[in-house]
Amino acid sequence: MHILRRRGWEISESRVTPESAMLGRRGLLKAAGVLSVAGALPALAEPNAKFVAGRALTDEKYATTYNNFYEFDETKSIWKEAQALKQRPWTIELAGLVKQPRTIGLDDLLKQVQTEERIYRHRCVETWAMTVPWSGFSLAQLLAIAEPLGSAKYVVFQSAADKAAMPGLRSPYYPWPYTEGLAIDEAANDLAFMVTGLYGKPVPPQNGGPLRIALPWKYGFKSAKSIVKISFTEKRPETFWEGLNPGEYGFWANVNPAVSHPRWSQAREKLLGSGEMVPTQIYNGYGDFVAGLYEGRKGEKLFM
């Protein structure tokens, strides 16, 4: 069990209000996927110590008000509009090369997985970065539930495309719905994390609530938000940004300071909030977890 020791960034009572007034602390944490159904109250639980932040946490107010979510708008100021995306009921379709294609309710899914908190660095391809406490469960657990067939080589994540709630969908320039994907061995990697919470609360719609993915070794555009469908394919999918501009955005999109974007350097990154510029690290500093995935893929465009 985790040691009960409070740190500066941990959930404070003020942070869980006012939602806690409605749901109660236990209900709130459960809704965020922080608390397993049978689990003990993790009020002072430490985040998973395997994943070291290495820098200060980004202030919650920046992480939740400066967002890329093109279904709403191309600007970063979409957090108010995003409140229109209803977070329940929410279902996820499991499709393609799986033992039994089906649709599963998010709350049903949450009963079948073990949840935890992880602090991850996030590096956008546009060079801004943040460090936040996500809560959720490993994608590996979801793979076990989905039961992909042996022929499945890739996993595809599809975001919600709710025309009533998302005005950006009217822009015909983009190949909606937003889809992203991983090779199946990347998906099985311990770092690949399904997110249901942020700063100890349900992940808000602007950050991809109620279910998004976090892939901290890749540029941020790989981490699809508000996921409604997960499919398994034999062929590598054409993904949103690659389809739009393959000269600038690829399928693999692993972070690498030495490989420039065609229009800017990736050597450094700007921390959201403080504005501090810091050096970017290969695989965003997660090479110990993921570098091995690419040993046999040296011929691919791994870093764009």
Ligand X SMILES: Nc1nc2c(c(=O)[nH]1)N[C@H]1C(S)=C(S)[C@@H](COP(=O)(O)O)O[C@H]1N2
Provide the binding-site residues for ligand X, judged by CB under 6 A. 67-71, 124, 159, 178, 207-208, 220-221, 223-226
In the complex, the smallest distance separating the C-beta of residue 66 from ligand X, rounded to whole angstroms, is 7
* Of 97 and 224, CB closest to ligand X: 224
In the complex, the smallest distance separating the C-beta of residue 98 from ligand X, rounded to whole angstroms, is 22
Compute φ and ψ for 30, nearest 5 degrees. -65, -45
The site partner of 71 among ligand X, Mo ion, none (C-beta below 5 to 8 Å per kind) is ligand X
Q: Cβ atoms within 10 A of the Cβ of 65, count?
A: 16
- The footprint of Mo ion on residues 195-234 (CB under 5 A) is 220-221
| Residue 259: HSE in the Cβ half-sphere, 13 Å Cα cutoff | 17
Tell me how far apart the alpha carbons of residues 196 and 107 are, in angstroms, rounded to a whole number: 11
* 64 touches 79 (CB < 8 A): yes
Among 11, 34, 85, 124, which residue interacts with Mo ion (rule: CB under 5 A)? 124
Piece of the chain touching Mo ion by CB under 5 A; list 121-129, 148-156, 195-203, 253-261: 121-129
In the complex, the smallest distance separating the C-beta of residue 56 from Mo ion, rounded to whole angstroms, is 21
The site partner of 179 among Mo ion, ligand X, none (C-beta below 5 to 8 Å per kind) is none
The site partner of 70 among Mo ion, ligand X, none (C-beta below 5 to 8 Å per kind) is ligand X
* Of 69 and 154, CB closest to ligand X: 69
- The footprint of Mo ion on residues 63-102 (CB under 5 A) is 68
The site partner of 120 among ligand X, Mo ion, none (C-beta below 5 to 8 Å per kind) is none
- Can you give the binding site for Mo ion, defined by CB under 5 A? 68, 124, 220-221
